[in-house]
Chains A and B, each alone.
Chain A
Amino acid sequence: MGPRRDLPARSLGSNMSASVVNMLTRMCATIKPAYVWLSPVGVVPSAMGRLRMASSSTAEQKSAVVESTEEYKYVERLIPPTKIPTPPLHDGPAPSGWRPPSAVTPDLPYMVRRSRLHNVPVYTDLTHGNRKTTLLRKIEGDIWALENDVKEYLVQLTGKIPLTQVNEVTMSIRIKGHFDKELKEWLLEKGF
């Protein structure tokens, strides 16, 4: 884009603007185009059109389009990735509070995997407007031992034994009440 008269000049270099100006105003080299885009003549050759075509086909030396592959890298940056990226390594917890699973798998009879987006799989649920439950998913191994440990831990916190439901088919534990923050921290301490 050329210098804009209505707006003040930019001091923070708009690099794209300069190259864009070059691109737009540069006369094209005679590169054979893939197809003629917005040719000067109309698409439907009428009688007048045929005359115009006859005269312009001889006169027209430059093509209507310039092809370029240099700027395609900017297009590649816009394509959404199809794979979930692996998180970069941090020293300890990340600023947002996210912690990776420990490199050494904990020596326990059960395992709690991370979700697809690398988070701890503890979720809260609210049904019927007032029924609060916490769901602990992606469990492998001895699920009853994990259920025991969860009950012990929550008894210390609340003083009451929590009601739990173990689903051995989906390998998940549902606990009555919202305990997502506590259970997430507890699992992170264990190293899951």
Chain B
Amino acid sequence: MSASKTTGGKAIDILRNLPRISLANLRPNPGARKTERRRGRGAHGGNKSGRGHKGERQRGNRPRLGFEGGQTPFYLAIPKYGYNEGHSLRPQYQPLSLRRLQYLIDLGRVDTSQPIDLTQLVNGRGVTVQPLKRDYGVHLVEEGADIFSAKINIEVQRATEGAVAAIERNGGVITTGFYDFRSLTILCKPVPFFLSGQPIPKRMLPGEDMVRYYTGAENRGYLSDPEEVERARQELAQKYGYVLPDISKDELFHMLSMRKDCRQIFFGLAPGWVVNMAERKILKPTDEKLLRYYGS
């Protein structure tokens, strides 16, 4: 029974009663250290000393690694192909499974009574997004769709069909939105941005390659037609075999219907505003040119 009050338990009790530790009374466990075979010192380390008999092997003149005696070596016979070409320009998305999202909600790290944003996910330390590593946001994935049971208003950057179905089946709302690099950095780390004193920029619209995704109703894109989205919700409910709950009758309908404008980065804060955290104030511009710019 290790009833010792100090750390170390039985081990330190034994040590206290033994003589002082010194090099004279220490040795490793038998079998822990094996003596090495010293080459060139007789018996089985001696004779040819493990170098073989004559030739390039014994004389230490073997050709370079990969040489196949003159036959075209493997690394030259296989043709080049651009598998990794442009890898540093490909958009990446940090995966977020529904299982992890449910875990975060269960532990209270993500608040379901407010719309869930990438900022809320990062604040709850649920995902880590690195905009500098070509991350364009978070990808919602349907791993754990069978255990997911939370009614949320969530905004991600990509979502699989199964994830959309799982969220809508529970009476929630999912939107996919695009954030350009600067907006994404600000979204992930809002406090350093506010401390820098710059006005909130307007979110840029997606590039050519992404417009199709974000204008599609199947992806619940933020630029898509709401009527098409409603139709897509019905179709998805039919496809996955669940009854689509009516959100308009819900008590949280106001929260569930909150959506960001396509130029807005944060809920409740418009582009052009400057946040003064020291004095807990927001400064808004009044010049018409600025208002026209930030309103466009």
Contact = CB atoms under 8 A, between A and B. Distances in A.
6 contacts: A12-B226, A66-B286, A68-B281, A68-B282, A118-B107, A143-B2
Contacts of B105: 96
A48 B236 CA distance: 65
A37 B147 CA distance: 51
A132 B231 CA distance: 51
Contacts of A87: 106-108
Nearest to A73: B268
B123 A80 contact: yes
B2 A16 contact: no
Interface string B3-30: 1000111111000000000000000000
B191 A78 contact: yes
Given A11-B226, A64-B287, 10 more contacts: A23-B284, A64-B285, A66-B283, A72-B281, A74-B268, A75-B269, A79-B123, A87-B106, A94-B106, A144-B10
A34 interface: yes
A15 interface: yes
Nearest to B9: A168
Interface in A82-107: 85-88, 90, 94-98
Given A65-B286, A81-B123, A8 B266 contact: no
Nearest to B276: A34
Interface string B237-270: 0000000000000000010011111111011111
A72 B280 contact: yes
A145 interface: yes
A98 B3 CA distance: 33
Interface string A134-145: 000000001111
Given A8-B226, A96-B99, A66 B284 contact: yes
B268 A16 contact: yes
A131 interface: no
B191 A80 contact: yes
Contact of B190 (A14, A78, A169): A78
Contacts of A90: 106
Contacts of B10: 144, 168
B136 interface: no
Contacts of A143: 2, 9
B283 A65 contact: yes
Interface in A31-88: 33-34, 37-38, 40, 62-69, 71-75, 77-81, 85-88
A1 to B, nearest CB: 5
Interface of A: 1-2, 4, 7-8, 10-17, 20-21, 23-25, 27-28, 33-34, 37-38, 40, 62-69, 71-75, 77-81, 85-88, 90, 94-98, 109, 117-118, 142-145, 168-169, 171
B119 interface: yes
Max count, chain A CB within 10 A of own CB: residue among B99, B149, B286: B286
Contacts of B273: 23, 71
Contacts of A79: 123, 190-191
Contacts of B290: 38
A73 B190 CA distance: 14
A76 B76 CA distance: 60
Contacts of B295: 1-2, 21, 24-25
A12 B269 contact: no
Given A28-B286, A117-B107, A15 B102 contact: no
Contact of B3 (A34, A37, A97, A142): A142
B294 interface: yes
B132 interface: no
Contacts of A145: 1
Contacts of B7: 168-169, 171
A168 B8 contact: yes
Contact of B264 (A16, A37, A94, A95): A16
Contacts of A77: 114, 267-268
Contact of A169 (B8, B99, B272): B8
